[in-house]
Structure 1
Amino acid sequence: MTQTIDPTDLPTTVHAFLAAHTAREVDAAARTFTTDAVVTDQGETFRGSERVRHFLEHAGSEYTYTTELVRARRVDERHWVAEIHIDGDFPGGVADLDYAFTLDGDLISELTIG
């Protein structure tokens, strides 16, 4: 059952990823994923360490934007959702996205952004 939680109650790994990704610290963000992780963003899927790193290096790199963690949900002990508000110079200028995480221990095994 999905439960709304305080965003500060998201797992440490999720917070570490969000902070590193926002700061564009690719190495730190990459360390939060399993070696066989899968990331899906804008209909494109990135599988494995090399492709996830490619995603981290290039996602949104052509734009300037700010992010705000506005809400969070716990689906179960492995599945968490961070609702992120993005404001920037990309087409449309504003977006609200769900970052749906699947954790394998202390690492992210799957991330779907939509």
Structure 2
Amino acid sequence: MSIELPKPIADYVAANARLDADAMLKPFAVDAVFLDNDKRFEGHDQIRKLFEEEVIAAKAIFTPEAIRREDDKVVVVEGPAHGDFPGSPLRFTYRFTLEADAVKALEVTA
């Protein structure tokens, strides 16, 4: 199934499929906040470290299966992530806050 994602989210998902940290970071605002199961990462440096140490190291690739909008800024995307981590694949919910064609915040929960 193919779903239509807003451009910053589509860019992030495509980069994640390639495990490309630079491209994964590109859709995020410079001052973005990433909440990963209650761990908080602020700004590009901390988010890049998260991508390198936890996403790319585990080869964790997210596959969106469903999308819904909560309002004009928040987009919720759900689907499994596969990789080299316990319990793979696991279902995740990605809650993106978009602002000015960038990801301002992302909250990921399993």
Is 1:73 aligned to 2:82, yes or no? Answer: no
Would you say how many aligned residue pairs link Structure 1 and Structure 2? 109
Equivalent positions of 1:1-114 (< 5 A) are: 8-114=3-109
Deviation at 1:54, TM superposition (A): 1.1
> Which structure dedicates a bigger proportion of its chain to strand?
1
Deviation at 1:7, TM superposition (A): 6.0
In the alignment, the residues of structure 1 paired with residue 22 and residue 64 of structure 2 have an alpha-carbon distance, to the nearest angstrom, of: 21
TM-score in terms of structure 2 length: 0.86
State the Cα deviation string for residues 22-46 of structure 1 (Å, max 9, x = none).
2111111111011100001122110
In the alignment, the residues of structure 1 paired with residue 7 and residue 25 of structure 2 have an alpha-carbon distance, to the nearest angstrom, of: 15
RMSD of aligned residue pairs (Cα, Å): 1.9
1:64–1:17 Cα change, 3 Å: closer
Moved over 3 A (4+): 64-67
Give the aligned partner of residue 3 of structure 1. Answer: none
Give the unaligned 5+ runs of structure 1.
1-5
1:46–1:9 Cα change, 3 Å: same
Give the unaligned 5+ runs of structure 2.
none
SS in 2 for 1:69: coil
